[in-house]
C-alpha cells in the first residue's frame, strides 16, 4: 500500500507538471528584443529542411512519413517559444514516430548506419526545446522532462533495438543533460538579477523612508525647542501674573486662567503632534499596538465643544452654541468624525478670532441620521482687524478633513460682511444617498447639486433679529447665557 501510494503521488506530480498547455513566453532581450525568437525560427527552418532531406534521402522514407516527422521536430522548436511543455511532448512524439517508421527499413537491411533512434535533426530540435523549457519552468519540471526523455530513449534503443543502426541515444542524452544544466543556470541567474532589482527597489524605498523620518524628527525637534518652550513660558507667566499685581480683578484672574488653560491644551496637542512626527507608524505613534494617542493627551471630541466655546468667549467673542438632534436612534460617531467635527469648529472659531475680532458667532450642530451638520457664522468685525500672515491653510485643512471622511466644507462671506463655514460629515465615511435633514431652527437648506459629484448642502446664514443701537457686547453676552428662550443673534445686521 505504501509503494502504491508513493507511485500514485508521483504520477499526480508528473501530470501536474508535464500534462499542461500553459503559456510561458520567452522573455525578450532588452537591447535586441526579437533576436532570440529570430534565431529559433531560423534554426527551426534548418531542422525542417535538413530533417526532411535526411529522412528522405538517407532513411529511404517516403514523403508521407518524412514530412510529418520533420514538421513535428521543427514545429516543436517554434512552439517552445510560447508553450515549452507541449513543445517537449511534440518533439518527443516526433522522435518516437521517426524511430518507429525507420525501424522497418533498418531491420530489412535497406538502410545502413543511419543515426537511430535520434536523427541529427531530431537531436538539434530536442536540444532547443529542452533549453527553452529549462529557461522558463522550475528545476523539478526540467528534471522530470529530461528523465522521461532518458526513459523513452532507453526503451527505443535498448529494449526495442534495430539492426543496422548507428546508436545515438547516449550522445543525445549527454547533450540533453548539458542543455538542461545550462538552461537551469541561466534561469537561476535571471531570477537572481530580478531579485536583486527588487532588493534594490526596496533599499531605495527604505532609504527614502529613513530620510523622511529624519526630516520629521528634525521638524519635531524644532517644534519642541521653539513652540513648546514659548508655550511653557506663556503658561508659567499666566500663572505667576496674578501674584505680581496688587488686588487683581476677578476678570483679570479669569483671563489669565484662560490663557494658562489654553497654553496647557496647546502643549498637550503639541505633544500628540510630536509623537506622530517621531513615529514611523502614524496610526500607532506611541507603539501601543493599536490606533490611538497618548493616554495623557486624548483626542478632543464633540463633548468638549462647550469648553472650546467658553474659551473663545473669554477671548472676546460673543458665541452662541445651538445643538439639534433629529435622530431616532442615537449612536456614537466614529472617532474620525468626532475629531474632524471638533477641529472644524475650532478652526472656524480661530478664524473668527483672528479676522473678525469683536464679532458675534453662532455655532450650530445638527445631528441627522446620515451624519453631522456643522455651521459656524460670524458677523462683521466689531473691532479693527489686524493684518494676519495666514495663507488659507486653515480652510484647506478643514476641507481635507471633511474630504477624508467623504464629506465637504463650504466657506463664503455673508451678505453683511461676516463669514460662514458650513460642513457635513457622513457617519460612515461615505456620502449618503439622501440629503441631510434641515436644521430644526427653521432655516431651509439650499441644495446645490454639482455635476458628477456628491450633493452639496449649503445653509444660508440665519437671519438675526435687529440689534438696537446702544446694545453692548456685554449685554449680548448676557442674552447668550440665559437658560431659556431662542438662541442669540449672530450679529448679522441690516446695513
State residue 34's pLDDT score.
72
Question: Distance between CA atoms of 298 and 291, rounded to whole angstroms?
Answer: 12
State residue 47's pLDDT score.
94
State residue 345's pLDDT score.
92
Question: Distance between CA atoms of 142 and 476, rounded to whole angstroms?
Answer: 90
State residue 390's pLDDT score.
54
State residue 27's pLDDT score.
62
pLDDT along the chain (495 residues), means of 10: 75 82 65 75 94 88 91 95 94 93 81 87 95 93 95 91 81 96 93 90 85 78 71 78 82 84 78 70 46 51 88 85 87 84 90 87 92 93 72 75 87 91 84 47 37 36 36 36 40 37
Per the omega criterion (within 30 degrees of 0), is the bond before 117 cis?
A: yes
Map the chain to HEC letters.
Answer: CHHHHHHHHHHHHHHHHHCCCCCCCCCCCCCCCCHHHHHHHHHHHHHHHHHHHHHHHHCCCCHHHHHHHHHHHHHHHHHCCCCHHHHHHHHHHHHHHHHHHHHHHHHHCCCCCEEECCCHHHHHHHHHHHHHHHHHCCHHHHHHHHHHHHHHHHHHHHHHCCCCEEECHHHHHHHHHHHHHHHHHHHHHHHHHHHHHHHHHHHHHHHHHHHHHHHHHHHHHHHHHHHHHHHHHHHHHHHHHHHHCCCCCHHHHHHHHHHHHHHHHHHHHHHHHHHHHHCCCCCCCCCCCCCCCCCCCCCCCHHHHHHHHHHHHHCCCEEEEEEEECCCCCCCCCHHHHHHHHHHHHHHHHHHHHHCCCCEEEEEEEEECCEEEEEEEECCCCCCCCCCCCCCHHHHHHHHHHHHCCCEEEEEECCCCCEEEEEEEECCCCCCCCCCCCCCCCCCEEEEECCCCCEEEEECCCCCCCCCCCCCHHHHHHHHCCCCCCCCCCCCCCC
State residue 225's pLDDT score.
65
**Torsion on CA atoms 73, 77, 80, 82, rounded to nearest 10:** -120
Whether residue 335 contacts residue 328, with contact meaning beta carbons closer than 8 Å, is answered with no
State residue 37's pLDDT score.
84
State residue 263's pLDDT score.
81
State residue 411's pLDDT score.
92
State residue 113's pLDDT score.
80
State residue 75's pLDDT score.
95
> Under 8 Å CB-to-CB from 58, ≥6 apart: which residues?
111, 114
State residue 488's pLDDT score.
41
Q: Which three cell numbers stand for residue 181?
A: 544544466
- Which residue in the block uniquely carries the three cell numbers 521638524? 219
State residue 430's pLDDT score.
57
- Which residue in the block uniquely carries the three cell numbers 447668550? 480
Amino acid at each position: 500500500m505504501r509503494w502504491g501510494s508513493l507511485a500514485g503521488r508521483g504520477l499526480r506530480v508528473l501530470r501536474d507538471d508535464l500534462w499542461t498547455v500553459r503559456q510561458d513566453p520567452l522573455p525578450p532581450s532588452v537591447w535586441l528584443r526579437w533576436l532570440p525568437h529570430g534565431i529559433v525560427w531560423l534554426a527551426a527552418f534548418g531542422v525542417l529542411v535538413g530533417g526532411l532531406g535526411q529522412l528522405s534521402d538517407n532513411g529511404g522514407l517516403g514523403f508521407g512519413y518524412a514530412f510529418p516527422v520533420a514538421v513535428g521536430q521543427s514545429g516543436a522548436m517554434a512552439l517552445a517559444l510560447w508553450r515549452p511543455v507541449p513543445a517537449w511532448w511534440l518533439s518527443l512524439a516526433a522522435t518516437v514516430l521517426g524511430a518507429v517508421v525507420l525501424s522497418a527499413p533498418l531491420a530489412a537491411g535497406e538502410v545502413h548506419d543511419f543515426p537511430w533512434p535520434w536523427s541529427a535533426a531530431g537531436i538539434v530540435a530536442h536540444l532547443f526545446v529542452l533549453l527553452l523549457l529549462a529557461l522558463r519552468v522550475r528545476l523539478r519540471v526540467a528534471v522530470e522532462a529530461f528523465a522521461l526523455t532518458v526513459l523513452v530513449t532507453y526503451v527505443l534503443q535498448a529494449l526495442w533495438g534495430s539492426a543496422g543502426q548507428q546508436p545515438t541515444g547516449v550522445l543525445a542524452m549527454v547533450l540533453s543533460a548539458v542543455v538542461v544544466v545550462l538552461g537551469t543556470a541561466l534561469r537561476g541567474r535571471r531570477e537572481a538579477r530580478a531579485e536583486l532589482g527588487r532588493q534594490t527597489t526596496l533599499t531605495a524605498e527604505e532609504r527614502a523612508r529613513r530620510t523622511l523620518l529624519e526630516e520629521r524628527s528634525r521638524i519635531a525637534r524644532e517644534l519642541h525647542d521653539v513652540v513648546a518652550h514659548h508655550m511653557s513660558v506663556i503658561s508659567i507667566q499666566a500663572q505667576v501674573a496674578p501674584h505680581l499685581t496688587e488686588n487683581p480683578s476677578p476678570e483679570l484672574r479669569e483671563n489669565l486662567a484662560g490663557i494658562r488653560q489654553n497654553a496647557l491644551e496647546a502643549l498637550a496637542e503639541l505633544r500628540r503632534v510630536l509623537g506622530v512626527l517621531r513615529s514611523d507608524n502614524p496610526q500607532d505613534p506611541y507603539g501601543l499596538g493599536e490606533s490611538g494617542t497618548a493616554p495623557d493627551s486624548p483626542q478632543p471630541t464633540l463633548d468638549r465643544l462647550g469648553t472650546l466655546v467658553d474659551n473663545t468667549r473669554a477671548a472676546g467673542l460673543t458665541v452662541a452654541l445651538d445643538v439639534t438632534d433629529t435622530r431616532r436612534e442615537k449612536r456614537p460617531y466614529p472617532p474620525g468624525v468626532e475629531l474632524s467635527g471638533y477641529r472644524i469648529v475650532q478652526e472656524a472659531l480661530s478664524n473668527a478670532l483672528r479676522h473678525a475680532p469683536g464679532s458675534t458667532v453662532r455655532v450650530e450642530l445638527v445631528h441627522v441620521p446620515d451624519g453631522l451638520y456643522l455651521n459656524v457664522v460670524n458677523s462683521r468685525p466689531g473691532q479693527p482687524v489686524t493684518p494676519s500672515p495666514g495663507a488659507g491653510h486653515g480652510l484647506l485643512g478643514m476641507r481635507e478633513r471633511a474630504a477624508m471622511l467623504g464629506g465637504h466644507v463650504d466657506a463664503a462671506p455673508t451678505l453683511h460682511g461676516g463669514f460662514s463655514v458650513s460642513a457635513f460629515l457622513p457617519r460612515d465615511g461615505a456620502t449618503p444617498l439622501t440629503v441631510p435633514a434641515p436644521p430644526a431652527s427653521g432655516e431651509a437648506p439650499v441644495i446645490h447639486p454639482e455635476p458628477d459629484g456628491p450633493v452639496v448642502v449649503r445653509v444660508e446664514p440665519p437671519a438675526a433679529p435687529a440689534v438696537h443701537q446702544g446694545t453692548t457686547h456685554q449685554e449680548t453676552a448676557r442674552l447668550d447665557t440665559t437658560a431659556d428662550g431662542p438662541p442669540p443673534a449672530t450679529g448679522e445686521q441690516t446695513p
